[in-house]
Structure 1
Amino acid sequence: MVSTRRFPNWTALSEPHGSLFRESGPLSRFPRLRAFRAGLGLTRLAEVPGPAGGARVLAKHEYENPTGSDADRVAYALVCQAIGASARQPRFVAAAGADLARALSRLCSLIGAPLRLVLAEEAALGPDGAGVRVDRSAPEDGLLGAIALAEEIAEAGQEWILLAAHRDPVCVAMHEFVTGREIIGQLDGLVPAAWVCGTGTGGCLAGVTRALRATGADPVVTGVTAAELPYGSAAAPRSGLPGWAGLGHGYRQPLVEGELPDLATESVRMAEARAGIREFRAATGREIGPASAANWLVARAVAAKLPPEDVVVTMFPDGPHEVTAVADLGEKTKGKG
C-alpha cells in the first residue's frame, strides 16, 4: 500500500532564495565535483522543426549534460545543498526515476558517498552504480510509492540524508537562477511567447517560468504530461508508465502546484512519443529521447497557433540513450490503454 502521507504545502519561492543553491563550499570540500560541474549546463538552445507558417521552436538540449539528462542539474543542486547543510560524511537516500538515479550515482561515486536509491522501475546505473544500494517499491504504486518509502527510510535511520527532488525548493532555485538565466542569455533579447516543459518533478517547469517572468516576459506556460496518467489524475499509478506521467491518487507535484496552481497541460501518449522520435529523426537526422519528443510535439502544436515572429521555448531533457529503453517500454505497455 502506498503511504497516505500528503505532500506538505509549498509556497512560491521569492528573493533571496537564490541563496538556496550554493556550490562553493561543496566544491571545496569535494574537489572531484568540479569535473561534473565543468560539464553541467550551458547546453545548446537551438531551433528545431516547427509548424509551417507558425512560430519558431527553440529547444534547450539538456541531454548534453554529463549523464545525459536535465536530472543532472537537480541531482547536483540536491547534493550540494545537503553537503552544505552538514559537516558529517554524507549518506544519501532518494526516490528516483532512471535519469535522476544515473545522475545521483555519478555524483556519489565521485565523492565516495553511500547512496541508497528507491526505485519503482528498473534503472541502468552503469559503472557508477557498483556500490549503490537499491530498494524496490511496489511497481504498482509508481513513483509515489518510491517517494513514500524513501521518506520512511530517512525517518527510521538518522544516518540517511533524504534528497527530495519532488519537494525541495532548491530544485526550483537551480532552474531559476542557472538554467533559466542560461536560456535568457541564449535568447539574446528575444521574448518567448510560450514556454513548454514536462511536469516532471516540477523544478524545471517552475524555475524557468520564474526566470522568464522576472525579465518582464509573460509566456503562455504549458506542462506536458502523459495521457496514460496525467498530471493531477485521481487514477492509481501502475508500472510501465512514461517518465513524464503524473503521480496518481490526485497528487500534484508541490513544486508545480506552488508556482503554477492553474497550469494548463497537454497529454502525450507513449505511442505518440515513439512516433515523434521517428518523425524528428526523419526531419533532422538526429535522435532524441521520448520525453524530448513529447515536449517537441506539444511545442510544435503551440507554435502552430502563433504568428511567425513569435518564439516558443521548450526542453529536450533526454537524448539518444533513452531510445532503446522506450522501445522496450512500448512492448511492456501494449494493451494497457
Structure 2
Amino acid sequence: MDAQPTTPTRPTVVDGLAGAIGNTPLIRLRRASAATGCEILGKAEFMQPGGSVKDRAGLGIIQDAEARGQLTPGEPGIVVEGTAGNTGIGLTLVANARGYKSIIVVPRTQSREKLDFLRMIGADLRLVDPKPLRDPGHYVNTSRRIAEELQAQGERVIWANQFGNLANAAIHEATTGPEIWDQTGGRIDAFTCACGTGGTLAGVARALKARNPKVRIVLADPMGSGLYSWIKTGEVKAEGSSITEGIGQASAAPGNLEHGRDCIDDALQVDDPTALAQIFDLQQHEGISLGGSAGVNVAAAVALAKRMGPGHTIVTILCDGGARYQSKIFNPEFLREKGLPVPSWLA
C-alpha cells in the first residue's frame, strides 16, 4: 500500500531562491527496497530549483564568498567556474538572484540539454574541447585563467573552484547530512553516492559520522574513474570508461573528497549497463526520471544492501532528472552506438 501524503516540513513561504534550496524529500525506492529487504531511500535533489544537487554547492560557494567580502549582494561581481554543467547552473541561478554575472566554462561534449539551459538562464557560456587535467586547456584550468585575468583587470570576481573550495562540502555538512538524519529519525545504517568534486559525499559523511560513527559511508564510482582505486589502495588508477557526466576522476582525488577521506569506509564500482538498468526501471515502474549519476548511486545502494543484508536503511542521492540527458541516455541511437541497452519503450 502506498504511503499517504504527509504534511510538508518546508515553510509555506520561503525567502527567494536561497530559501527554496534544500529540504528535499526522501523517496522510498519501492522495487530496490523489495529486492533487497532493506529500506533504500533516495534524497530527491532533482527537485531543487535548478534541478540538481549542485544548487546547494552554488549557494554555499557564493554565500562563503560574500562572508569573506569577496562579493557583495547587489553590487557588481562575477562568478567564474569550470563545470560539467550542473554546478554552473546552480551558480548562475544564485548569481542572478544576488546581482552577479557568471562565466561558465564547460566541455563541449556535455549533454546539449545542460548547455541549452545554461544559455537560457543567462550564463556567459564558454565551450572548450575535452582535455586531461594536466592540460592548460582543461575546463577547470581555463576557468581559473579567466578569473585571474579578470582580477588583473580590476574586476570583482571569484573563481568558484568547486573541486577545491571546501565551502562545497561545508554546505552539505550543514544541510544535506542533517536533513537525512532528521528525515530518517537517525535510523540510517549507510550512505552511498558518487563523487565529482566529492563535496556531497564528504559533507554528508562528516555530518552523519558526527551523529553516529557506525553509519557506513561508501563511495560509488563509475568505470573510467580512479576514485574506487584511491579508496581501496591509496592510488588513483582508472580502468574502463563510462557515459556518465560530472562524476568520477581519472587523475587525482579532489580537495573536497580528501577533506572527507577519514569518514569514507569503502567504495563500489558500477558499470554503465547496471546504472542504466536502474534508471530505466525507476522511470518505467516508479515514475521517477533520473540522470546517469543517480543510476550509479541507486545501483551502488542496491549492491551495498545485498552486502549488508536485510533490515538495513541505506540512503543515496538522486542527483538530477532524466530530461537533462534526453539526447544521450534516452537516445536510442546514442545507446546503440555505445553498445548499451535501449529501454523497450524507446526501441
Aligned to 1:242: 244
Task: Show the counterpart of 1:223.
Answer: 219
Amino acid at match of 1:212: L
The one of 87, 97, 112 equivalent to 1:100 is 87
2:17 to 26, 32, 36: 36
Q: Which runs of 5+ in 1 are unaligned?
A: 1-32
Is the CA contact 1:47–1:56 (under 8 Å) kept in the aligned structure 2? Answer: yes
Once the two structures are superposed, the pairs formed by residues 25-174 of structure 1 within 5 Å of their partners are 34-48=15-29, 49-50=32-33, 52=35, 54-86=37-69, 87=72, 89-121=76-108, 122=110, 123-126=114-117, 129=120, 131-141=122-132, 145-158=138-151, 159=155, 160-174=157-171
Q: Is the 8 A contact 2:194 2:248 kept in 1?
A: no
Alignment CA distance shift 1:82-1:246 (3 Å): same
Q: 1:68 to 1:37 in 2, by over 3 A?
A: same
CA distance in 1, matches of 2:27, 2:186: 15
- After the TM superposition, which of the residue ranges 278-287 and 89-98 deviates more from structure 2? 278-287
Q: Which moved more, 1:319-328 or 1:164-173?
A: 319-328
Moved more, 38-47 or 105-114: 105-114
Equivalent in the alignment of 1:14:
none
Q: CA deviation at 1:324?
A: 0.9
TM-score by length of 1: 0.80
With over 3 angstroms needed to count, the CA separation of the structure-2 counterparts of 1:74 and 1:125, relative to structure 1, is: farther
CA distance in 2, matches of 1:97, 1:110: 22
Q: How many residues align?
A: 302
Task: Give how far 1:208 is off.
Answer: 0.6
| Deviation readout 1:42-91 (Å, 9 max, x if unpaired) | 11112113253532111111111101110000001111122232246321
Mapped to 2, the partners of 1:133 and 1:211 lie a distance apart of 35
- Structure number with greater CO (CA < 8 Å, separation at least 6) is 1
2:260 is aligned with 1:259? yes
Preserved CA contact (<8 Å) 1:78 1:163: yes
Residue 6 of structure 1 aligns with which residue?
Answer: none
1:121-146, Cα deviation, whole Å (9 max, x unpaired): 34324376464222233313379821
Q: Deviations over 1:105-164 (max 9, x none)?
A: 222223331211111134324376464222233313379821111122222331231111
Q: Partner letter of residue 58 of structure 2?
A: A
1:244 to 1:219, Cα distance in 2 relative to 1, 3 A: farther
Shift in alpha-carbon separation, 1:315–1:245, aligned structure 2, 3 A = closer
What is the CA-CA distance between 1:198 and the residue it aligns to? 1.0
Counterpart residue type for residue 69 of structure 1 = S
Structure 1 residue aligned with 2:330, among 305, 314, 327?
327
% identity of equivalent residues: 22
Give, as a single letter, the amino acid of the residue that structure 2 aligns with 1:157.
Answer: L
Contact 1:68 1:321 in 2 (8 A): no
Runs (5+) with no aligned partner, structure 2? 1-13, 231-235, 341-347
Please state how far the C-alpha of 1:234 moved relative to its aligned partner.
Answer: 4.3
> In 1, distance between residues paired with 2:240 and 2:99?
34
Deviation at 1:336, TM superposition (A): 9.0
CA separation of 1:295 and 1:46: change in aligned 2, threshold 3 A: same
Secondary structure of the corresponding residue to residue 316 of structure 2: strand
